[in-house]
Chains A and B, each alone.
Chain A
Amino acid sequence: MEQNMKNSSVKVADTLILGGGIAGLEAALNLANTGHQVVIVEKDLSIGGRMIHLSKVFPTLDCSACITTPKVSEASRHPGIHIQVNTGAKKLAFDAKGHWHVHVQTEPRFVNESLCTGCQDCERACPVVVKDEYQYNLVGRKVAYIPFSIASPRIAAIDIENCILCGACEKACVPGAIDFSQEPVQTEWIVKSVIIASGFTLFDPDQIERYGGGKFKNVVTAMQMERQLVPTRPFNTVLRPGDGKIPDKVAYVLCAGSRDGTVGNPICSQICCMYSIKQAQLILGALPMADVTVYYLHIRSFGKGFDEFYQQAKKMDVSFIKGKIGKISELENGDLMLRYEDIASGKIKEAKHDMVVLSVGILANRDIEKISGLENLELDPFHYLKQRQEMSNPFKTNLPGIFMAGTASGPMDIPDSILSAGAVSAMVTKYNKGFVESIINSLTISSWNE
C-alpha cells in the first residue's frame, strides 16, 4: 500500500530519470519497453527538453519537433512510465540494501491537471504580460499560460511570481481548473537506479562585452535565431529584434563562449559549427535575398554527413570567413560593424552586417550539484559528470546505481545523446534485474501504477 501523508508520499519504481529531454525520454522508453517501471522527473513544465524547441536537425534537416513529439507522446501514455513535471530532486540517499531514496518536490502550477483542457481561456483572460522564456524573450507571454503549443502535458500554469492576483483566469476557466490553493508536493521514490539526463545550459553571451550581447538589440543568440526559424516563430518571419527590419546581411560568430579560456569554457561545444551551418541554410530558405556570413576559427564537421552539409551551405552561397572577431560595434541605425582578423590574409578588416548571431557554446548543467546527497558525485574539470571508464563503461558514475545519459557527461549532438541513452538503458536493464518485484514483496508500499 502506498504510504500517503499530507502532500507527501512514498513510491517505488525501478529507475528514476532526472531530466525529460531527448536522452531521458529515450532511456525511459527503452527501459519501459523491456518491462521496467520508470519515473521521469522534469523541472520544466513540459517534457521534451531543448530539442522540442528546435526547428530542424542537422545534417538531415528533418523537423526536430517531428522527431521529439512522437517520443514525448509515447512516453506520456506508456503504462511503464510515470512523469512528474515542474518537479525537482531535492535529496538522494543510498540505503544499506542498495536502494536509492530520491526525494522530489513538485511545485504548484495552480491548475488542476485533471480538469484543465488546455483551452487557453485563462491565458486570454490574463491581463499581465512578461517575457516568454520559451521564445527566448523575443516576445511576451501571459502569466496564466500554456508553456508552448506542443507542450506535454498541455496544461496551463500560473506564473505566481508575476501574478497580480486579479483572479481573471479563475473566472474565465469554465471547468474550474484554476486552483490557487495548491501547495508543493513531496514524493519519496525508492528506486534501484538513477539516470542523470539533466542536459546542458547555454553560455550567457553577456559575459563577452566586446560582442555586445544583451546590449546591442540586433545581436542575438543562436537559440533566439532558432526560434525565429521554427513554425511557431515569435515574429512569424525572421526580423531584427531591434526595429523589426527584415535582415539582409546576417553574420554568425562561432565559438562565442566555447574554446575560450578567458570566459571559463576552454572546450569545444561540438554542436555550434553545425547548428550555425544549418541555420544559415534555413535563413536562405526564409529570406532568399539575404547574405549570410559565418566567421569561424575551425569548422568542425566531424560526424556522418556533416562535411557534405558544410559543402552544401557553401554551394548555397553562405560565405565562410576564417577570422577572429575582435569587437562588434553598433551603428546609429542598428547595423553592426564587425572588426576581425582575417586569418587568410593576416589583416585586420571590418564588415557591416545588419544582424549578428552569436553561436553560443554549451555548459554543464550545474543544478545537479545542488542536490543533497550527491556531494560525492565526481565531476570533470568542466563540471560535467565524470566518466570514470570512458572507453569501457562511459555511462557509469562513481556512485553505485547512478548512471548518466546525454549531455550530462559532456557536449554532444542529438544522435550521440540518443545513442548514449540507448547504451545506458542496456546497462541499467542488467543492473535493475527484478528490483520492483523484490521490494514490493519486502515492503508495505506499492508500485506507482497500482
Chain B
Amino acid sequence: MAGKTIEIIKTKRKVPEALRQRHKEYLGLRKKIREALADGEATIPQISQKTGIPADQVVFLVMTLRKYDEIVAGDMDDMDEYYYYKLSEK
C-alpha cells in the first residue's frame, strides 16, 4: 500500500473549498512573516507593523514557525518587554 494510498482516499473524500482557502491564506501569512524577517530580527509588534497582520495572529504564526524550526528566538529588547525573532539558518 505504501506510497499509493492517497489515491484511494481521493476517490472517497473531496477537500472542502474553505479548507483550501484557509491553507492558501496560511501560506500567504507565512510568506509575509518570512519576508518581514528577511532583513533581520524583529519583535512581534514590529513584525505586525511591517506585515499588517494583527499582533495576536503574528504570535500564533511566529510560535508555530518556531516550533517547526523556521524561526528562532533571540534576545529581549532594551525594555525587557519583547523577544526578537529571526529566521532560522536551516
Q: Which residues of A contact B (CB under 8 A)?
A: 110, 124, 127-129, 138-142, 160, 162-167, 170-171, 173, 176-181, 217, 234-237, 239-246, 334
Contacts and interface: CB of A to CB of B under 8 A. Distances in A.
Interface in B28-81: 43-45, 48, 55-56, 58-64, 66-68, 73, 76, 80-81
B16 to A, nearest CB: 9
Interface residues of B, number: 37
A141 B63 CA distance: 10
Given A164-B23, A179-B1, A246 B6 contact: no
A139 B67 contact: yes
A244 B76 contact: no
B72 to A, nearest CB: 10
Contact of A165 (B15, B55, B66): B15
Contact of B81 (A128, A234, A235, A245): A245
The interface residues of chain A, by DSSP majority, are classed as loop
Interface in B1-42: 1-3, 5-6, 8-10, 13, 15, 19-20, 23, 26-27
Contacts of A140: 60-61, 63-64, 67
Nearest to B73: A236
Contact of A129 (B3, B26, B44, B45): B26
B5 A244 contact: no
A235 B63 contact: yes
B5 A178 contact: yes
26 contacts: A124-B68, A129-B64, A138-B60, A139-B67, A141-B67, A142-B68, A160-B13, A170-B3, A173-B2, A176-B3, A179-B5, A180-B6, A180-B9, A236-B66, A236-B73, A241-B56, A241-B60, A242-B56, A243-B45, A243-B48, A243-B55, A243-B59, A244-B58, A244-B62, A245-B82, A246-B80
B81 A246 contact: yes
B82 to A, nearest CB: 6
B22 to A, nearest CB: 8
Contacts of B43: 244
Contacts of A242: 55-56, 59
Contacts of B82: 243-246
B6 to A, nearest CB: 4
A405 to B, nearest CB: 35
The interface residues of chain B, by DSSP majority, are classed as helix
A128 B16 CA distance: 14
Nearest to A140: B64
Nearest to B76: A246
Contacts of A240: 59
A38 to B, nearest CB: 32
A185 B58 CA distance: 41
B63 A176 contact: no
A217 B44 CA distance: 14
B7 to A, nearest CB: 8
A48 B62 CA distance: 29
B55 A244 contact: yes
B10 to A, nearest CB: 6
A129 B22 CA distance: 9
B5 A181 contact: yes
Contacts of A165: 6, 9-10, 13, 15
B60 to A, nearest CB: 6
B8 A181 contact: yes
Nearest to A174: B2
Contacts of B68: 124, 142
Contacts of A177: 2
A239 B6 CA distance: 40
Contacts of B76: 246
Nearest to A182: B5
